[in-house]
């Protein structure tokens, strides 16, 4: 974040928090889209590694649609 903030002002603090949250979500989304995520299959309950988007559980074959919001 290269923006300037005067954190003694409430409006700048709100803007800083909003920008910080936005950047953290972007970093998280990028990391998950590159690496996938360890999740519990909603069908069989087994721990699996799933990529973002549509995939199938390697244990039970159930369809999983992993979305990042």
CA gap 57, 40 in Å, rounded:
10
Tell me the two tokens of residue 18. Answer: 């909003």
Q: At 28, is the pLDDT very low, low, confident or very high (cuts 50, 70, 90)?
A: confident
Give the count of domains, the chain: 1
The tens digit of pLDDT for each residue in 35-60 reads 888 999 999 999 999 998 899 999 99
- Whether the Cβ atoms of residue 40 and residue 49 lie closer than 8 Å to each other: no
- The answer to whether residue 52 is domain-embedded is yes
- The answer to whether residue 28 is domain-embedded is yes
Cβ-based neighbours of 15, under 8 Å, separated by 6 or more: 3, 5
Diameter of the chain measured on Cα atoms: 54
CA gap 21, 44 in Å, rounded:
33
pLDDT, residue 5, reads 83
Tell me the two tokens of residue 57. Answer: 């559980």
- The answer to whether residue 48 is domain-embedded is yes
Average pLDDT over residues 11-15: 91
- The answer to whether residue 2 is domain-embedded is no
- The answer to whether residue 3 is domain-embedded is no
- The answer to whether residue 1 is domain-embedded is no
pLDDT, residue 2, reads 62
Per the structure, the complete domain to which residue 18 belongs is given by: 10-66
């Amino acid at each position: 974040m290269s923006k300037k903030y005067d954190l003694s002002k409430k409006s700048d603090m709100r803007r800083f928090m909003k920008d910080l949250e936005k950047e953290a979500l972007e970093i998280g989304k990028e990391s998950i889209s590159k690496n996938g995520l360890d999740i519990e299959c909603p069908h069989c309950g087994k721990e699996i590694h799933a990529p973002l988007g549509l995939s199938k559980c390697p244990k039970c074959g159930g369809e999983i649609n992993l979305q990042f919001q």
